[in-house]
A and B are shown apart, each in its own frame.
Chain A
Amino acid sequence: MATRSTNSIDVFGATLTRRQFVKTSGILAVGVSVVGTSPLRGDTPKGTVAKNSLDPSLASSWLEIHPNGTVTIRTGKNDFGQGSVYTAYRQIVAEELSVPFEAITTVVTGSTDQTPDGGGSFGFLNDGTPNLRKVAAYTYQALLDLAATKLGVPKDKLTVKDGVASGGGKDISYGDLIKGQQLSLTIPVKGDLTNIIGLTVDGNPPMKPVSEYTVIGKSFPSSAIREKVSAKANWATDVRLPGMLHGRIVHPKTLGSTLISAGKLDKVKFPSAQVIVKQNLVGVVAPTEWEAIQAAQQVAAETKWTDWKGLPGTAKLYQYLKKESDWTSTPVMKSGATKGDTAAALASAKKKLSATYQLSYMKHAPIGPTMAIGDVQADGMVHIHTHNQNPQELRGEIAKMLGTTIDKVVVHIYPGPGHYGRSNGGNAGAEDEAVILSQAVGKPVRVQWMRADDIQWSTQSPASFSDVELAVDDQGKLAAFQIDHYMPAMQDDRLVGAVLAGLPTTPAPDVRGDFVTSTVNNISDEWLYAQAPNVIERGHGTFQVGQKASPIAVGLRDHSMRTPVQFQQNYPRELAISEAAVLAGADAIQFRIDNLKEERAIGVLKTVRESSGWDVRPSPKPGVATTGKEPVRGRGVSLMLRDGTYWACVCHIAVTPDTGVIKVEKCTFAVDPGVIINPTHLKRHVEGGAMMGISMALLEEVTIDESGVTQDDWNSYPILTMADIPEIKVELIPNPKVGKYGGGSEAANALAAPAIAAAFYDATGKAIRRLPMKPAYVLEALKA
């Protein structure tokens, strides 16, 4: 029999309650209480969050400690390949709780009925304070309080090692502390469950000092890797529900076409298939996948769409962006680095440069196209099985689309192909289409996009350009730097199936959007050259290309992709800084060091200089060539601060002038994230990001005609292969005195492009200011 108790104590703003004593097992469940406004999105009906959810307004589990000392942790963030939830998160929690890494036996991620906080799966380390760290810190304090009472020893006389608290000659394990009781710790939380950030744990519980770390800093393996490698993982693509149909979408002919008539299904060939039409959304379902694919092809061939021409086409894209886009409706943003009188300094300078830098549209291009299973049940419950970076936001969006409440929607999360930011606002493409088709047929429907759907109908990273004006003084230092970044909106979170079907969804990016969905172009590349006396950085935003002109409001939909916005801003800045060094007649690394103040930035540059075998001298290299069959060689550097981590990169390249082919021969990274949590995994992230970054820099450009994307497979949208990888070296710089851990992974993507472009100048004496550096554009630059 359980005995009721009203015991509760305050733990740094959290509340520890002993609810009851139980005879058998016991549990310490750490739940949440809400401070501030409702955590549910304003325009979503605010019904009670039903059984299918860990109700954020009631105590529920983020973290459970069991009587045998094992720990379960839960996070709304979901693994996209970095493994941080299976490595770093376990290490962080183990550290704060003072338990061994192995004690954390279960990690529950993503699914909306099993995790408390939501939020997009990005910025996993978020300047060193993910929610779980604070939760663990509160829990540790609560455990100390329990131990102090139990042992009769003051809290400050207790120490904990491997989950055993000791003091005054006595000790007790966490397991024994909670055995036979049901304890609940309620902690303060704020935020919006279904937006891009999700809920955030509030307050400031004491954290373990970095000097006492024993678990953080070691290379523990990821438990997810063993499962995937041994074919034990249950991928989203593997989920099969009873009665499930396979679905394929017949997407419109152009990004602005409306449906004239859907093709008629050949019932002789495809007796079990069905066509579903909802406004401009045409879907085909069948009991087997092969029948669905073939039937969709047959229907597609006979479906009639209106024509549409409303895009500028690749050849005229930059002219369109410069001359025809509306840069005046959206407020211009200025960075906090603004200082001095840049205009005056530029006017009076002798050595100056004025240049424009261009970035292409790029695809997230996941190795597996988006897929999801929608299961709209007779009782009104909606289940979605998929792989998604923001399941709670998806849940809110699906509720909105169906005009139901979010308690009716459950998103179940499984591993899947990384898609690098595409679904951090809740959708990658197939989710809502699966729900619409399921609702139409009353059965679960698995929608799998084909490769062409994924290239032509997904969002992309927007094209952009930046205008730079800079000057260097007689001492060879940066005297003035002015940069104007121009980029269409980057975060279209609309459900594309809902758009096609004419169902409610979140608005398209507009001047008045929230902080992510507006057209505002914030400055997100932190200015580093603090010695420069005159600086101005401005961000100019506009609408997505073709979206307003498209009769179906589609056009080129954009979405954040690895190091979003900062990639688009750091590339022009860092390339321009390398060009400023040329103007100053200085070595590109030394020029940077001479204009910096921050020691960590200088540190990564010195490390990368040493490690890469950099030859100190101005660019270009003596004996450059712009013609010939023989490759010419050069090296370039780049620098960035992102999420608390300093990055420097050197690329050594070979350019063959006659063919315009650039090969990166060596790529060296220096990374200072402050505290390093898991060296092996950080190194693997950097290597991977570096390769993707080289791929983007050299190869990747979404090509468009006036109607849509002209690529449809891996031949037309090529990515880097193993044949083209350089020698890669990663120097990790542990810097524990920083006292926190910065982000890893995605930032690595951004460093290669400006370093390669600077290396190109070094090798040829010609500037290249356009991405990607594919042969056609390289040859143009060489001729210029």
Chain B
Amino acid sequence: MVTINVNGARREVQAPGDTPLLYVLRNDLLLTGPQFGCGLAQCGACSVLIDGKEVRSCITALSDVGTDQEITTLEGLPGRWAKQKGLSQEEAKNTLHPVQHAWIEEQTPQCGFCQNGMMIKATELLESNSNPTPEQIKAAYTTSGISPILCRCGTYKAVMESVQRAAAIMAKGR
């Protein structure tokens, strides 16, 4: 039995320690925001935040996640924002993260299968840089992590516009 800290809650899991976190999240905890894309740390479909850093859950063994580390999945983005903004439980339930709002306003996804990674990366970026330039956005999605975050449907321009919109929403503190 391993205890991990996911989206602000402590969760007990039975899986063997060498199980990639991706399968623990998806199959044991039914947190299906992260997706299986390659299993090789080459695409970003499986991304989650661990202590605020974008990490590939497909190559992160369960046993490598510390009990005190904070995992945030796509499902946990609203709660993460609510906590950062000190929103009440009631408000938190009805909110989305500004990144998610921006993604809806910009109608960003095509098939959407890669967009988990796109939104996780945006969150990581905007928490450290509240107003990134286009070049900084490109760098975040290509050179900042273990591999570029890939989108086969070609939504890169929409993602760039959405990151900028999310930055604007966050600046307003919504």
Contact = CB atoms under 8 A, between A and B. Distances in A.
Interface of A: 80-83, 221-222, 224-226, 228-231, 233, 235, 237-238, 240, 288-290, 365-369, 415-418, 420, 448, 450-451, 680-681, 684-685, 687-692, 695, 713-715, 719-723, 725, 728
Contact of A714 (B16, B100, B119, B147): B147
B2 interface: no
Contacts of B141: 721-723
B40 A713 contact: yes
A288 B96 CA distance: 32
28 contacts: A81-B110, A221-B104, A230-B78, A235-B113, A288-B19, A367-B113, A368-B45, A369-B36, A416-B111, A417-B113, A417-B114, A418-B111, A418-B113, A451-B38, A451-B39, A684-B108, A687-B154, A687-B155, A687-B157, A715-B42, A721-B141, A722-B138, A722-B156, A722-B160, A723-B139, A725-B138, A725-B156, A725-B157
Interface in B135-151: 137-139, 141-143, 147-151
Interface stretch (B27-35, B63-71, B84-92): B27-35
List the 9 closest pairs (A to B, CB-CB), nearest first: A691-B154, A81-B111, A81-B110, A418-B111, A417-B113, A688-B154, A228-B112, A721-B148, A723-B142
B103 interface: yes
Instruction: Select the residue from A80, A225, A415, A420 with max chain B CB neighbours within 10 A.
Output: A225
Contacts of A231: 32-33, 73-75, 116
Contacts of B109: 81, 225, 228-229
Q: Which of under 10, 10 to 19, 20 to 34, or 35 or more describes the interface residues of B?
A: 35 or more
Given A418-B111, A451-B42, A687-B154, 10 more contacts: A83-B107, A228-B112, A231-B33, A231-B75, A235-B35, A237-B36, A418-B110, A719-B152, A722-B137, A725-B157
Contacts of A451: 37-40, 42
Interface string B75-86: 100100000000
A490 B35 CA distance: 30
A239 B143 CA distance: 34
A415 B156 contact: no
Contacts, number: 174
Contacts of A226: 104
B168 interface: no
B111 A723 contact: no
Contact of A228 (B39, B115, B138): B115
B50 interface: no
Contacts of A240: 27, 30
Contact of A368 (B16, B37, B142): B37
A701 to B, nearest CB: 16
A408 to B, nearest CB: 30
Nearest to B22: A289
B138 A225 contact: no
Contact of B15 (A82, A238, A288): A288
Instruction: Select the residue from B15, B119, B147, B153 with max chain A CB neighbours within 10 A.
Output: B153
Instruction: Select the residue from B26, B75, B148, B152 with max chain A CB neighbours within 10 A.
Output: B152
B112 A81 contact: yes
B39 A450 contact: yes
B158 interface: yes
Nearest to A685: B110
A275 B153 CA distance: 36
A225 B112 contact: yes
Contacts of A367: 37, 43, 45, 111, 113-114, 150-153
B32 A237 contact: yes
Contacts of A714: 38, 40, 42-43, 147, 150
A687 B107 CA distance: 12
Instruction: Select the residue from A81, A83, A237, A713 with max chain B CB neighbours within 10 A.
Output: A81
B161 to A, nearest CB: 10
B159 interface: yes
Contact of A238 (B32, B73, B112, B159): B32
A722 B148 contact: yes
B32 A687 contact: no
Contacts of B37: 367-369, 417, 451
A111 to B, nearest CB: 18
Contact of A290 (B16, B78, B96): B16
A773 to B, nearest CB: 18
B65 to A, nearest CB: 15
Nearest to B40: A713
B158 A687 contact: yes
A209 B118 CA distance: 42
A687 to B, nearest CB: 5
A450 B42 CA distance: 13
Contacts of A722: 137-138, 141-142, 148-149, 156, 159-160
Contacts of A690: 154
Contacts of A366: 113, 152
A713 B32 CA distance: 23
Contacts of B45: 367-368
Contacts of B42: 451, 713-715
Given A689-B154, A725-B156, A416 B113 contact: yes
Contacts of A725: 138, 156-157
Nearest to B141: A722
A48 to B, nearest CB: 36
B108 to A, nearest CB: 7
B2 to A, nearest CB: 14
A368 B27 contact: no
Given A235-B35, A451-B38, A691 B156 contact: yes
